[in-house]
Amino acid sequence: MASFATKVIRLSLKAVSAVSPGAAGELAFRIFCLTPNRMPKNGKERALLGAAAPLMQQSRKVTLSFAGGWVFVRHFQRRGSGRGPRVLLTHGWGSRSDYLAALIDGLLAAGAEVVALDWPGHGGSPGRSLTMPQAVRAIDAAWRHFDGFDVCIGHSFGGASLACAAGGVVCDLPARVPAKLVLIGAPSEMAWLFKGFGKMMALVPAAQAAFEGMVKRLSGRRVEDFDAAGVMAAHKKPVLVVHAEDDKEVSADHARRYAASGPHVELHWANGLGHRRIVSAPPVIEKIVAFLGERQQTEHLKRIA
């Protein structure tokens, strides 16, 4: 059953559509892009922030600008004599880099250098809205500032954004392709979100077309072009897809779409961990660390053979 707020928004969009379906589509897009309140929603989230604080304080705070805004990142230097990869880490919609503290700690323990990005409207970054083109621009800003990344790891929306950045789907930006990519509970394409939101808001066809058309106005690409699985099929770099078949927010069918992209994509099921707990589960972190180290192990064996 739809919430009271959803019913009110539906009625408002219906009224606007009667006058101008185009205006209704633009209004729907603005609502679609609104980010949730970034304050902790409950005691569990407050506890997670408190537990993450000592680790997050070890980072250097950096602000990065891009066309239309700026974002906040935390830069963690390698520990001791670590020689691991430089990693870009991105969180999901409604989250923040602090909630990835367990994964950050696991990567640092493995010798990696980590850059954790807060999307616009999330964590320490300003704003109240977020679009996929904005996310790709933020990734590009991080790439330019840190002179590229060996590995990119993203959860949910963050994973899809990294995949789209690797495909150069925003027409005025170059493709940002890491040597390895890890996608955790990530959507494989964006069109399903737009179709689902339009259906939930009962948009008439003309308003739906205007709603989807906003993507092209912002990025130069159609919403169908933001096909992360299609990007994975084209770029052929090693990809690890981690997903739970019990994920209620992003269907496991998205993981299967990624896996169908080719033999360079490894699918790892982390069943029982749902959509959110998956990013901090020790077995998942161990799997990711092992995946990051596979090339180094292979090169070492070649040297001693």
Q: Which of 77-86, 200-209, 229-238 has the highest mean pLDDT?
A: 200-209
The pLDDT score that the predictor gives to residue 295 is 52
Whether residue 300 contacts residue 293, with contact meaning beta carbons closer than 8 Å, is answered with no
Report, as an integer, the average pLDDT of 228-238.
92
What does the alpha-carbon distance between residue 212 and residue 189 come to, in Å, rounded to a whole number?
A: 14
List the strands of the sheet with 239-243, edge to edge: 60-66, 69-76, 113-118, 86-90, 151-155, 180-184, 239-243, 265-269
Ranges of CATH 3.40.50.1820 domains, the chain: 54-190+226-304
Is the pLDDT at 302 greater than 60, yes or no? no
- pLDDT of 4 reads 85
3-class SS at 219?
helix
Contacts of 51 (CB under 8 A, 6+ apart): 101
Examine the pLDDT at 172 and tell me if it is beyond 60.
yes
Please give the structure tokens belonging to residue 258. 């990624």
User: So what CATH class is 54-190+226-304?
Assistant: alpha beta
Asked whether the predicted pLDDT for residue 98 surpasses 90, the reply is yes
Comparing C-alpha atoms, which of 161, 179, 164 is closest to residue 240? 179
> Where does the pLDDT of residue 3 fall: very low under 50, low under 70, confident under 90, or very high at 90 and above?
confident
pLDDT, tens digit (0-9, with 9 covering 90-100), for 18-46: 999 999 999 999 999 999 998 888 999 99
Burial class (CB in 10 A: 0-12, 13-18, 19+), 273: buried
Query: Rounded mean pLDDT of 145-151?
Result: 98
Residue 298 has pLDDT above 70, yes or no: no
Q: How many CB atoms lie within 10 A of CB 119?
A: 27
Asked whether the predicted pLDDT for residue 299 surpasses 50, the reply is no
Report how far residue 219's alpha carbon sits from residue 303's, in angstroms, rounded to the nearest whole number.
45
Q: Which of 75-79, 215-219, 240-244, 299-303 has the lowest mean pLDDT?
A: 299-303
